[in-house]
Homo-oligomer: A and B are copies of this chain.
Amino acid sequence: MALIVQKYGGTSVGDIDRIKNVAQRIKKSRDEGHSLVVVVSARSGVTNELIAKAKAITDRPDTREMDMLLAIGEQETIALTAMALHAIGIPAVSYTGAQAGIVTDQVFTKAKIKQIAPKGIMADLKAGKVCIVAGFQGINEHGQITTLGRGGSDLTAIALAAACKADKCEIYTDVDGVYTTDPRIVKEAKKIQEISYDEMLELASLGSKVMQSRSVEFAKKYGVVFEVRSSFNHNPGTIVKEEVASMEKVVVRGVAVDKDQAKVVITGLPDKPSAAATIFTALAEATINVDMIVQNAAHTGVADITFTVQRDEAQNAVRVLPAVLKKLGGGEIKAFDNIAKLSVVGVGMRTHAGVAATLFTALGEKGINLQLISTSEIKITVAVDRAKADEAVRAAHAAFGLEK
């Protein structure tokens, strides 16, 4: 007799048959006695079709109108899902983001949720109805439709779970849960039963495609326990929740890899205190997201700075930097776009010594050169040659015994 928020992504509602399948899953949960709020995304592909139409009209569509346009993707799904539930005898009612009371700020195409007033939803739940809510969208204080940007439907589900004080939030997707690493690289990869918000956050930001980090952050902030699981089978998934003591027994939770990285090396930079600030301010102004940064002042008077960026941003960085270096009085730029970033993540690291040593040894034994190293309390990240990335992941996975 719990209140459950379920979220089904674009693949799970990709066509009429899949929507009917989702309706059956909802029925099953309801037959077990639960009250249900269900968040759905646009059918996979629909958002891209809408973007293509806008682009056919103008290169730079107005963001307000873009949100007006994109919001129809989810509106289609909620209506069809409600109909599919009616067809199997389940009372259901659809809600746009605005009707669900999801109020956002004014930033079109990447709005932040400010508050949720789910009055209508609570009344319909009480009347025994399943509430189907459009993910990804809200309304600002001027009554204009906004969208939440990438990962927005997950955010809708988790925020609604917080607002409705749901007992549980289930994020249905096309994977079975969170794995110790990518099963396509390491066939022994295992599904993780439970993971802390912090670990999930690190995995999300390190290239795991399961979920955007903003939704995990929101869940952490409001203490929403959620489960990532598949809509195509009934296997239990991965539960994401606050860290508990027992989690520290597992030193490393998983190995993440992001193969779409590039490295930019600046050598011979005059060693002034302001040099790094000048460079990274210029990159930020060009909206280039820098990830790992390493600085050495090996020789007197000159410094080397190396940083990584997403592969498709490397050329932008190379375009922006020469003017900056000229102002600073020197320096040379080289970009390498054959970089992969490998990370081991686990809250247990905090209380276990030697994790870095274990990782470096495992990679060293395979002759894999570490181009950059960066550490935090619960993760160690290294940049390696992309050609060696899979081998590195397998070595790390084995070194920490994650297959067990």
Residues of A at under 8 Å CB distance from B? 16, 19-20, 50, 53-54, 56-58, 61-62, 64-66, 68-69, 71-72, 75-76, 78-80, 82-84, 86-87, 93-94, 96, 99, 120, 143-145
Contact = CB atoms under 8 A, between A and B. Distances in A.
B84 A57 contact: yes
A78 B64 CA distance: 12
Nearest to A62: B86
A200 to B, nearest CB: 34
Given A53-B16, A54-B80, A57-B16, A65 B94 contact: yes
A78 B69 CA distance: 8
Given A99-B143, A143-B99, A57 B80 contact: yes
A197 to B, nearest CB: 35
Q: How many copies does the complex hold?
A: 2
A44 to B, nearest CB: 15
A56 B94 contact: no
Contacts of A94: 64-65, 68
A83 B53 CA distance: 10
A146 to B, nearest CB: 13
Nearest to A145: B96
A83 B65 contact: yes
A198 to B, nearest CB: 39
Contact of A66 (B56, B71, B79): B79
A84 B145 CA distance: 19
A147 to B, nearest CB: 12
Contacts of A72: 72, 75-76
Given A53-B80, A99-B143, 13 more contacts: A16-B57, A19-B57, A54-B79, A57-B87, A58-B84, A61-B83, A62-B83, A62-B86, A65-B94, A68-B82, A72-B75, A75-B75, A120-B143
Contacts of A16: 53, 56-57
Nearest to A120: B143
Kindly name the residue among A53, A68, A144 whose own CB sees the greatest number of chain B CB atoms within 10 A: A68
A57 B20 contact: yes
Contact of A57 (B62, B83, B96, B99): B83
Contacts of A143: 99, 120
Contacts of A84: 57-58
Contacts of A79: 54, 65-66, 68-69
A145 to B, nearest CB: 8
A75 B71 contact: yes
Contacts of A145: 96
Contacts of A57: 16, 19-20, 80, 83-84, 87
Contact of A83 (B20, B58, B71): B58
A143 B124 CA distance: 14
B69 A76 contact: yes
Nearest to A78: B68
Nearest to A58: B87
Contacts of A87: 57-58
A64 B93 contact: yes
Contacts of A144: 99
* 6 A-B pairs with least C-beta separation: A69-B79, A72-B72, A58-B87, A68-B79, A65-B79, A65-B82
Contacts of A56: 16
A391 B53 CA distance: 47
Contacts of A65: 79-80, 82-83, 86, 94
A60 to B, nearest CB: 8
Contacts of A82: 62, 65, 68
A65 to B, nearest CB: 5
B69 A80 contact: yes
5 contacts: A54-B80, A57-B80, A57-B84, A62-B82, A64-B94
